[in-house]
Amino acid sequence: MRTTNIRELKHATSTVLEWVEQGETVQITRYNKVVGMIVPPSAKKEEEAPPSDYYERLEKLFFDKTKPMTGTQIVAYDRGDR
């Protein structure tokens, strides 16, 4: 695990992010006290829910308060033939 202070993080962000890309966890310190950590993302990626599942969850949460049109459709309708 590497350690960096806030000044180094501010001035050498690219270097610190390279460490993280290589899989290292970086502790960020202020006055020699740890105030934060930057950790690499986990190797397991979460799969996105299919749209049908999304709409089912919306209906469960909001019952019949859901709109018949998506936000994209509403914006396209408002813009007209532009």
Q: Where are the domains of the chain?
A: 2-38, 49-82
- Tokens, residue 58: 């919306």
User: Has residue 43 got a pLDDT over 60?
Assistant: no
Q: What is the CATH number of domain 2-38?
A: 3.40.1620.10
CB atoms within 10 A of CB 28: 16
The answer to whether the predicted template modeling score (pTM) of the entire model surpasses 0.75 is no
Beta bridge partners of 60: none
pLDDT confidence of residue 50: 61
pLDDT confidence of residue 46: 58
Spell out the residues 6+ positions from residue 30 whose beta carbon is closer than 8 angstroms to its own: 5, 6
